[in-house]
Amino acid sequence: MAAAMTGAVDLAAVKARSDAAARAATAPPPAQGGYVVDVTEANFQTEVLDRSFQVPVLLDLWAEWCEPCKQLSPLLEKLAIEAAGQFVLAKVDVDVNQQIAQALQVQSIPTVFAVIGGQPVPGFQGAIPEAQAREVIVAVLEASAKAGLTGVAPRPEGVEGEPVVPELPEDPRFSAAEQALEEGDYDRATERYQEILLAEPANADAKLALSQVELLKRLAALPEDTLTRAQASPDDVELQLAAADYELAGNEIDQAFARLIGLIKRLRGDERTPVRDRMVEYFELIGPDDPRVNPARRELANALF
């Protein structure tokens, strides 16, 4: 039955998650006492769903006859042991546990899910190289940290040493861009980041880096008397944009925001477009978590509309 009103909460689901979290808080260690567990329909609730309220669970669905599984499973086991309890690898033989595979709508194997706080999240299908598997694990650990999971799976007897935090392999494309940036060659750094975006238009890191380079290029061209000149010409758009860059670079973020919003209020029509775009660029550079961003977004919207 559909909810009677927008925003209605499924209280039954909330209670189920709460009960699972409570069970997880007092749950015994994984059945094998380690970081890799064999999961069946009988222990799926405790070893996967309940456990996922303590640490993220990586669900590896496999079968004896599956050749790619024979490549992927040992790799995931190795990474689980390296991570030393930062996540649990739960292995499910789909031939023996068909109900689990059906519930997860598994179409082919190997298939990997992440389970965080009782919620399964699709991961990937097929065997993947180690570098890509490490990327997946880093993403899972980051997501679990945001979800507030702070537990660590118990260490098996006889295992020594500290956890190995998975690290993303260095991307040579970014390395080339960063090298150019260190050398002060902004044009070459711009070209390198643009090449990344040409291949991956949705690459958020490259987008942010490109905006940072563009800001650095503008700052390098600013004369020392930028603020004085801007004060003398309050309606000169280019001068006001330059002054805002100068203030942003000096961590005078509120002043930069106020300058541009005030300018937008004095302008009309298409004249406001470059100022609005510069504000949006600042929001992306500073980041949505900065407490000054949301109020400035509201002020921008009020000034525009």
**Residue numbers in the chain where pLDDT is lower than 70:** 1-34, 149-170
Per-residue pLDDT tens over the stretch 74-129: 999 999 988 888 899 999 999 999 999 988 888 899 999 999 888 888 889 999 98
Q: Please, are residues 258 and 292 in contact by the beta-carbon 8 Å criterion?
A: no
Q: Is 0.95 surpassed by the pTM of this model?
A: no
The C-alpha atoms of residue 189 and residue 167 are separated, in whole angstroms, by 24
13 is annotated as an active-site residue: no
The C-alpha atoms of residue 228 and residue 236 are separated, in whole angstroms, by 13
* pLDDT value, residue 154: 55
Which member of 36, 57, 66, 215 is catalytic?
66
* pLDDT value, residue 6: 28
User: In angstroms, what CA-CA distances link 183 with 81, 186, 196, 257?
Assistant: 41, 8, 19, 31
* pLDDT value, residue 15: 40
252 is annotated as an active-site residue: no
Per-residue pLDDT tens over the stretch 213-240: 999 899 888 888 999 999 999 999 999 9
3-class DSSP state for residue 16? helix
Domains of the chain by start residue, with CATH: 11-146 (3.40.30.10), 172-304 (1.25.40)
